[in-house]
Amino acid sequence: MSDLRILFINSSSGWGGMEMHSLVLAEGLSGRGHPLLFGVRAKSATDDHTGESHFSRAVLPFRWYLDPRSYFPLKRLVESLGVNVVHFHDSRDSWRGMLLAGVLRKSAALLYTKHSGTPPSSKKTDPLHRLLIRRLDALVANSHYIRENTLETYPIEPSKVEVIHYGLGEEAVGDPNRAEEIRRELGLHRDTPVVGMVASLSEGKRQDLLIRAAKRISAEHPECRFLIVGVPGQVEYAKRIRGMIEMLGLENQVIMPGFLGDIPSLMLALDVLVLPSNNEAFGIVLLEAMANSRAIVGSNSGAIPEIVRHGENGLLFAPGDSDSLAEAILRLIRSKEERVEMGEQGKRVFEERFRLERELDDTERLYRSLLERQASSRSMSSSLL
């Protein structure tokens, strides 16, 4: 019987890196024999994707922060299962997580994984957030960049903020046959250089930079194709992107297929992956590229430099500079040897630093250290009575 009995809460209705990876982590912990209950919003994307999972689910309305129709059923389940770790992933779940873990009398370790940054103008210094931060046993940042952002925007002791990078398992490796099919379906010949980007269409992801760079690259390499994969995160921005493509005369060079499900196999269909985002919190697509030995060009901002080592497994360019981006892409298009070498180095970095097993080890270690600290605190309190 495992010493860890875990509750995950993620009431988000969206479907992005935070929602996807909390499921990956839950499945991994459950696979190691830890009883895990996952509280999810009814009819959400997370609910849709947990149907065949090995962990238990609590599918609830989660209409507002302390919706009694969600809180009390969850409380009964937590008590019946003897949950000793409460781990929430969406900031909107902080208050129910705190109450479920106990405020004055702690019944469980309380953790929050911060998957994205907080704007400096939105510092969390109000009394309610101070209460929450005081009760938190640990805040997990998915990158050092997010750790620094947290220390700037939350009134929290540095010792409470732990960095645990995302990891991926064997599911991150694509199928070469499916990669060839993807190329054929998109009308791409086997020897056509393909530069790809996978992200929601939104201003922070900066697809506009890639399109500007594509105009310059196409003048030297008209055979090159640019694949922009993703659904509109911001509808107006997506319209603007399509307008840019038409205005610059890149209709034949830029392909926008929308959503593609098999991202690992898509990586094998690319020659170079590009991530030009501003202030990327992590960039799990970078791991998917590395797992499939693909060279990367990334913005030298946010958490990207924690993953991409310039000149080793990819190239970094000056944030917001389309000419710098174009130069980096051109360097890799011109030299297949360097491109392949960087891709192979990326695979080695992935195996050493970003495997799911490492993330699971670090998470288990943190859970146990928090429980040991709580047990020691209780013992000390009892000895003083």
Distances in Å between the Cα of 232 and the Cα atoms of 34, 47, 241, 259 are 37, 21, 10, 9
Output the pLDDT for position 385.
52
Measured between its terminal Cα atoms, the distance across the chain in Å is 32
Q: Which residues of the chain have pLDDT under 50?
A: none
Res 381: pLDDT: 58
CA 334 to each of CA 221, 238, 276, 329: distance values in angstroms, whole numbers, following the listed order: 9, 30, 20, 9
Contact (Cβ atoms closer than 8 angstroms) between residue 37 and residue 77: yes
pLDDT of residue 379: 63
Tens digit of each residue's pLDDT (9 = 90 or more) over 221-269: 999 999 999 999 999 999 999 999 999 999 999 999 998 889 999 999 9
Q: What is the pLDDT of residue 261?
A: 85
Contact 246, 214 (CB under 8 A): no
Separation between Cα atoms, residue 291 and residue 280, nearest integer Å: 19
Of 293, 276, 220, 275, the closest CA to residue 253 belongs to: 220
CA angle, 216 then 221 then 226, to 5°: 75
Question: What is the pTM (predicted TM-score) of this model?
Answer: 0.93
Q: Which single residue is written with the structure tokens 């009398």?
A: 105
- The DSSP result for 68-104, as a single string, is HHHHHHHHHHHHHHT--EEEE-SGGGHHHHHHHH-SS
- Strands lying side by side in the sheet with 85-88: 56-60, 36-41, 6-10, 85-88, 109-114, 138-141, 161-163
**Whole-number pLDDT of residue 382:** 55
User: Whole-angstrom Cα distance, residue 97 to residue 210?
Assistant: 41
Show the domains of the chain with their CATH numbers: 6-167+355-384 (3.40.50.2000), 171-353 (3.40.50.2000)
What is the C-alpha separation between 299 and 47, in angstroms, rounded?
A: 33
- Are the beta carbons of 9 and 88 closer than 8 angstroms? yes
Q: List Cα–Cα distances, 56 to 88, 93, 201, 282, in angstroms.
A: 16, 19, 33, 28
Burial label for 57, CB within 10 Å (0-12, 13-18, 19+), is middle
Q: What is the pLDDT of residue 383?
A: 53
Phi, psi of 23 (to 5 degrees): -70, -40
Query: Which pLDDT score, from 0 to 100, does residue 215 have?
Result: 98
Bridge partners for 299 per DSSP: 317
Count of beta carbons in the 10 Å neighbourhood of residue 93: 23
Q: How far apart are CA 47 and CA 262, in angstroms?
A: 20
* Nearest by Cα to 147 from 123, 115, 179: 115
Amino acid identity for residue 250 in this structure = L
String of b and e for 10-49 (b: at least 16 CB within 10 Å)?
Answer: bbbeeeebbbebbbbbbbbbbeeebbbbbbbbeebbbbee
Q: What is the DSSP letter of 143?
A: S
Strand partners, 272: 195, 295
3-state SS assignment for residue 16: coil
Q: Please give the pLDDT value at position 221.
A: 97
Rounded-to-integer distance, Cα 259 and Cα 304, Å: 23
- pLDDT score for 197: 98
Give the closest residue to 106 by CA, choosing from 86, 126, 90.
Answer: 86
